[in-house]
Amino acid sequence: MKLKQLVRGLDVLIKGSKEVEITGISSHSHLVTPGCLFIAKKGGRFNGVDFISQAFKFGAVAVLTDMYNPFFKHIVQVISSDITFLEILLSKRYYGDPASSLFLVGITGTNGKTTTAYLVRHLLGNCGLLGTIEHIIGTHRLSVQLTTSDVVTNYKMLRKMVDQKMTNAVMEVTSHALEQNRVGGILFDLGVFTNFSQDHLDYHGSIEAYRAAKISLFKQVKRSIINRDERAVDELEGITYGIDNAADFRGGDIEESLDGTRFNLYYQNRVYPFVTQLIGIYNVYNCLAAIAVGICKGHSFSVLQKKLAEFTGVAGRLEKISNVHGFYLFVDFAHTEQALVYVLSTLKRIKMERGKIITIFGCGGERDQGKRPKMARAVEKFSDCIIVTSDNPRYEDPMHICCSIAKGFVGKYQIEVDRKIAIKKGISMAQRGDIVLIAGKGHELFQNIAGRSLPFDDREVAREIVSTIESPLC
């Protein structure tokens, strides 16, 4: 597509030839390929205007910027006062509004987005996924750094799904993404709200601003699916699901075990029994949301019952690590107070009096410090033994983070900054019938320490440790 076609009818000033051929769009210089239009946005941690020269070294043929730079006379410059608006419009125009060719589901909320997204993908079939762990397009799986990518990448990935003849797509949508317009211009067929609790106040500044960012998704959805047990979003209207309150899709008669969950779904005066390999009531909520999506798409309950029973789970979401020592070992992504309550209360309820719960967890550095003691209190309420450790400390002192967490404890706990040693200590405490929970990182493959991404996978570390111990220690 020639530049003149891409910007036709738009209020922009072009310095240079309008005849250059545009073969892609990128707002990140390291993703630029020959023929790209580079979008140089100001602000944020990385200022796009500082990377114009680098973008052109990688093959960019034009740049979208808000101010003409006379030192770049050899570069085609597209000048606009509103880069954010143009980024959305040009992405939508270049990639052909791919969302309009898909049945697109957007999922937001503090917890449960990832599991619900994978459930939706599994139940709908022929469904692409853009989420925390990866992007899935047909048979291709791409690792990601952000839960919700930038505007250009979102349009590009949706375009790839359409080109792969996919008919459905599901996207996790974070509060950061909504605040930063990363899903700008995208109309969702369904928007799902899972739940709400404190998180990301380091970015949003207040719980009210965080909540406002979350619910802003529903300004760009055709229909909404809302957790009716979540009182924080009472003003949202749409299809409802829940357990404690009357809802269109209501779960009940829940039977939990460490091998899975059975529940009945009450819908329009009929009862539909479901079985899932997922553990816990909080996962029943995720299942109800996904089933509601399936019904809205036109699937039958009989098909959804069969498919749900086949779903094996999500990487790092209460993922069971097998061992021969008679205790239960789980890795989970829980990194908020509410998520820890969900997971630990479930484990405590299911285990009954069989053994103790040993929890190893930490908090991310340079993030919302107010949630640290709250997470400690949640862990202490449901755990018998606690080890506090590092969890992506970034540039913050790991011991300082651990001490901040410790302010929330009343009873005993241990601090072991080295995460691998902490996991080994926790596993070494376990006896037959005990439960060990390694929380916070889930599927993540790295520890972010002082600007470096160091390989670290809780699951692999746990497997290595259990394979080397001869028997559980007291």
In this structure, is residue 474 part of a structural domain?
no
Q: Are 86 and 115 members of one domain?
A: no
Q: How far are the Cα atoms of 44, 46, 258 from residue 69, in angstroms, in the given order?
A: 20, 19, 62
273: domain CATH number?
3.40.1190.10
Rounded Cα distance, 330 and 250, in Å? 28
pLDDT interval class at 473 (50, 70, 90): very low
Bridge pairing between strands 13-15 and 221-227: unpaired
**Is pLDDT at 147 greater than 60 in this prediction?**
no
Per-range mean pLDDT, top range of 131-135, 180-184, 388-392: 388-392
Total domain count for the chain? 3
Who's near 217: CB < 8 A, 6+ residues apart? 106, 108, 173, 178, 183, 188, 191, 193
Who's near 37: CB < 8 A, 6+ residues apart? 3, 6, 22, 24, 25, 26, 60, 61, 62, 63, 64, 78, 90
Q: What is the mean pLDDT of the chain?
A: 92
Q: Are 89 and 132 members of one domain?
A: no
Contact 213, 204 (CB under 8 A): yes
Q: Are 305 and 325 members of one domain?
A: no
Q: What is the pLDDT of residues 287-344, one digit of tens each?
A: 999 999 999 999 999 999 999 999 999 999 999 999 999 999 999 999 999 999 999 9
Q: What is the pLDDT of residues 115-127, one digit of tens each?
A: 999 999 999 999 9
In this structure, is residue 263 part of a structural domain?
yes
Q: Are 47 and 128 members of one domain?
A: no
Q: What is the pLDDT of residues 341-391, one digit of tens each?
A: 999 999 999 986 679 999 999 999 999 899 999 999 999 999 999 999 999
**Is pLDDT at 49 greater than 70 in this prediction?**
no
Report the pLDDT value the prediction gives residue 61, as an integer from 0 to 100.
95
Q: Are 327 and 260 members of one domain?
A: no
Q: Are 116 and 75 members of one domain?
A: no
Indicate the pTM of the whole model.
0.88
Q: Are 131 and 243 members of one domain?
A: yes
pLDDT interval class at 211 (50, 70, 90): confident
